[in-house]
Amino acid sequence: MAQSPAGPAGAHVIETRGLSKRYRGGQLAVDGLDLAVPRGSVFGFLGPNGSGKTTTIRMLLGLIEATDGSAHLLGEPMPRAAKRVLPRVGALIEGPALYGFLSGRDNLHRYDAADPTADPRTRTARVAGALERVGLSAAAGKKAKAYSLGMKQRLGIAAALLQPRELLVLDEPTNGLDPQGMREIRTLVRALAEDGTTVFLSSHLLDEIEQVCSHTAVMNRGRLVTQGTVAEMAAGGHVQGRRLTVTTPDGADAVRVLKEHGVTDLSVTGDEVAGELPVPAAASGAPEELSDLNAALVTSGVRVRAFGVTKISLEDVFVSLTGEGFDVAG
């Protein structure tokens, strides 16, 4: 998967070059990050906890200074252009700060009033529109302290959407939510993307990335491991080997033929023979096509009842990339 893919001007809403952050004491939290987030994508920024995701987001938004490298948001250098850029960017970092004694509606009025660019004459309409967009119109008069975690997250997103935004940055938006709350946030993210907002979503949950994202990048120990489309990632191109399974009553003969054609790590369980296909497929004398391998078995007299390659899961891919486990669904 290509890193920092090139594109026409304006194709990327986020672009970094060699972005690094070293804290006092020498800890290198982010190391030489080259990131490119396509406009119009739902971009999953994935990695184990502590991999540098939140530090990266804080640098992108100008909340902390980078030690080295550069970052551009919406084509503008950060943090130098923060005053021009940030009004076009919505963000929810580490959960919303809400007044529990105020209603959801009144919380949004407070947020809007704190924005020096917001027109007070249209505040009521903007607040109502933001509540409707996140599905909280019916609960607008309810005190925020009575909201579920999912509702609080949606209210935080509503606050980020009080003004039109080209980019929405969400840091672990489903952290701590129950399955229903997670579904609500995912549905909202999909709807925002359909409306044309680019969503940059930091997460350590594989399900979240697979279900809502079009593109992804994987961080591990402060470094970018890979980036590209989720479809490319799910294809398993980074997993060194694919698992072949053949169902046959002629196990010993099947093992012999498969071994001759470069299949390794062979095992026989009942009438099932399994082995690791070579990568690339043409290496070590292996046939270029699976159909050729199947034909070789049949030509050698092996009775093939079933033949296929085990689908590689995203979990397999990420573990192969980082050497660490990820939460699949929370």
Locate all alpha helices (DSSP H) within 139-250, ordered by sequence.
Answer: 149-160, 179-194, 206-212, 230-234
| Parts of the chain with a pLDDT under 70 | 1-10, 234-242, 279-289, 311-330
When the candidates are 3.40.50.300, 3.90.76.10, 1.10.10.10, 3.40.1350.10, the CATH number that belongs to 12-234 is 3.40.50.300
- H/E element holding 22? strand 12-22
Place of tokens 């660490």: 324
Q: Where in the chain is the domain with CATH 3.30.70.100?
A: 242-311
Interacting residues of 201 by C-beta distance below 8 A, sequence separation 6+: 42, 43, 44, 45, 170, 173, 189, 208, 209, 212, 213
Give the three-class secondary structure for 300. Answer: coil
d(CA 95, CA 123) in angstroms, rounded, equals 23
What confidence score (pLDDT) does residue 184 get?
Answer: 86
Start-end of CATH 3.40.50.300 domains in the chain? 12-234
Q: What tens digit of pLDDT does each residue of 23-32 get?
A: 988 889 999 9
Token duo for residue 259: 């071994």
What is the third-level CATH fold of 242-311? Alpha-Beta Plaits (3.30.70)
Instruction: Give dist(CA 222, CA 219) in Å, integer.
Output: 6
Pairing of strands 306-309, 223-229: unpaired
pLDDT at 320: 64
